[in-house]
């Protein structure tokens, strides 16, 4: 059975070009970039090159990129640095729909005595700019708001929100793990101070990420030790993965418009093909303002996990909008924050595409979705 991978917001396939570029650094080119000899020196050049490639995708300067191990590390570092450089400030602003890589960090700092404002969203997952403006105070050390939501694909108005923070002299971080390579991001225009990204959402292997820190923004490292990454992230560089992320950034930049068009056309065909043929199904999120690759659909009176299992039998990989906590299947915090009705939220599925998704895969999925939902509805314990 062929695998149809529609779970690219969870992780992505490694691009062949990325793998090819990495291979020499898993073989003969094993030196340490910090060594004085030229054998190591050639690796320092490869790391510099990757800084340039990543910076070029974002409209940044190579010195503004710090390679990390993952998006979570970048998020942790951003919050840590903002608090360490402004010890007098005790307030943070974020949203209720962030990834746990931010939400759990915020809760940690709350336990240390910080005050955190969690902004709510409306039923389409949109933030309210008036509520946001009121949340910014002279005591606010950092705003951290995701560029795009991992469950719905919603894109937040980061440029406007970063400008508003700047007017009040508040630092602004965005978790752009889902957005980099899929949404247009030009850091010459969008005045964020820090931005997190992750390689494995961008067709590299898992275990590499980056944090952008704007020139002039005061910074304190989370991981101290050697002088790697200009003293901002200690640890001998993970050269093969850094090289891979550089190439992934270059690929994303080179094919950006074409991919956005192709992927969003396939996503729209998939989404319309499903909701058109299945009664009592709704699309979650802001359909006018979201990532081109993501759709989140709720089916009334079915369990998301049961849908996933039946899709899995057909070879289709997806994600549900539920999280198994304390033995009960709770709708995700994102769908709850949006107020999606309970009998819909339970049956939510996220389908996320990539440049490798094909028309045949979309057609197969559209063809088989109704039988999955109909079968489950027949045996569903949920009734009106």
Q: What is d(CA 118, CA 128) in angstroms, rounded to the nearest whole number? A: 12
Distance (Å, whole) CA 232 – CA 74: 12
Using CB under 6 A as the binding rule, whether residue 211 contacts ligand PLP is answered as no
Q: Which stretch binds ligand PLP (CB under 6 A): 38-46, 119-127, 172-180, 356-364?
A: 172-180
Which of 12, 72, 295, 332 forms a contact with ligand PLP (CB under 6 A)?
Answer: 72
Nearer to ligand PLP, 194 or 306 (CB): 194
Nearer to ligand PLP, 144 or 281 (CB): 144
- Compute φ and ψ for 35, nearest 5 degrees: -65, 155
Burial class (CB in 10 A: 0-12, 13-18, 19+), 138: exposed
Task: Give least dist CB 334 to ligand PLP, A.
Answer: 10
Of residues 150 and 284, the one with the C-beta less far from ligand PLP? 150
Residue 70 contacts ligand PLP per CB under 6 A: yes
Assess 290 for contact with ligand PLP (CB under 6 A).
Answer: no
Residue 211 vs 372, nearer CB to ligand PLP: 211
Number of residues that bind ligand PLP (CB under 6 A): 14
- 196: Cα separation from own chain's centroid: 9
Q: Which residues is 68 bridged to in the sheet?
A: 209
Residue 358 tokens read as 């094909």
- Asked if residue 155 binds ligand PLP (CB under 6 A), the reply is no
* Residues within window 78-107 making contact with ligand PLP, judged by CB under 6 A: 99, 101
Of 25-33, 69-77, 86-94, 309-317: span binding ligand PLP (CB under 6 A) = 69-77
Q: Which is nearer to ligand PLP, 213 or 334 (CB)?
A: 334
Report, as residue numbers or ranges, the catalytic residues: 324
Stretch that binds ligand PLP, among 83-91, 171-179, 228-236, 299-307 (CB under 6 A): 171-179
65 binds ligand PLP (CB under 6 A): no
Instruction: Give dist(CA 99, CA 177) in Å, integer.
Output: 10
Q: Shortest approach of ligand PLP to residue 73 CB, angstroms?
A: 7
Q: x/- string (CB under 6 A) for ligand PLP, residues 185-204? A: -------------x-x----
Closest residue to bound ligand PLP by CB? 71
Which residue ranges make up the site for ligand PLP (CB under 6 A)? 70-72, 75, 99, 101, 146, 150, 175, 177-178, 198, 200, 209
């Amino acid at each position: 059975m062929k695998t149809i991978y529609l779970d690219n917001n969870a992780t992505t396939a490694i691009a062949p070009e990325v793998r090819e570029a990495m291979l020499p650094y898993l073989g003969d080119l094993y030196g340490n970039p910090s060594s004085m000899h030229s054998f190591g020196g050639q690796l320092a050049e490869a790391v510099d090159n990757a800084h340039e490639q990543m910076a070029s995708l974002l409209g940044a300067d190579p010195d503004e990129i710090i390679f990390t191990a993952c998006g979570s590390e970048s998020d942790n570092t951003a919050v840590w640095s903002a608090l360490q450089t402004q010890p007098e400030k005790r307030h943070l602003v974020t949203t209720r729909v962030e990834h746990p890589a931010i939400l759990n960090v915020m809760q940690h700092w709350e336990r240390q005595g910080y005050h955190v404002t969690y902004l709510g969203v409306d039923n389409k997952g949109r933030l309210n700019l008036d509520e946001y403006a009121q949340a910014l105070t002279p005591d606010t050390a950092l705003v951290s708001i995701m560029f795009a939501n991992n469950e719905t694909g919603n894109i937040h108005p980061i440029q406007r929100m970063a400008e508003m923070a700047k007017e009040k002299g508040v630092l602004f971080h965005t978790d752009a793990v889902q957005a980099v390579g899929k949404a247009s991001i030009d850091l010459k225009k969008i005045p964020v101070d820090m931005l997190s990204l992750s390689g494995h959402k961008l067709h590299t292997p898992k275990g590499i990420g980056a944090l952008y820190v704007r020139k002039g923004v005061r910074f304190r490292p989370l991981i101290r030790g050697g002088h790697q990454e200009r003293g901002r992230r200690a640890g001998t560089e993970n050269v093969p993965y850094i090289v891979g992320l550089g190439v992934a950034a270059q690929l994303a930049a080179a094919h950006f418009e074409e991919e956005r068009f192709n992927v969003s056309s396939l996503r729209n065909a998939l989404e319309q093909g499903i909701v058109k043929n299945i009664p009592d199904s709704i699309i979650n999120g802001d359909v006018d303002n979201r990532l081109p690759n993501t759709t989140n659909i709720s089916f009334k009176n079915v369990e998301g996990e049961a849908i996933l299992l039946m899709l899995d039998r057909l070879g289709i990989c997806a994600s549900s909008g539920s999280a198994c906590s304390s033995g009960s299947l709770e709708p995700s915090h994102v769908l709850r924050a949006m107020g999606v009705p309970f009998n819909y939220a339970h049956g939510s599925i996220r389908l996320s595409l990539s440049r490798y998704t094909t028309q045949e895969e979309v057609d197969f999925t559209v063809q088989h979705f109704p039988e999955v939902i109909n079968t489950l509805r027949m045996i569903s314990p949920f009734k009106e």
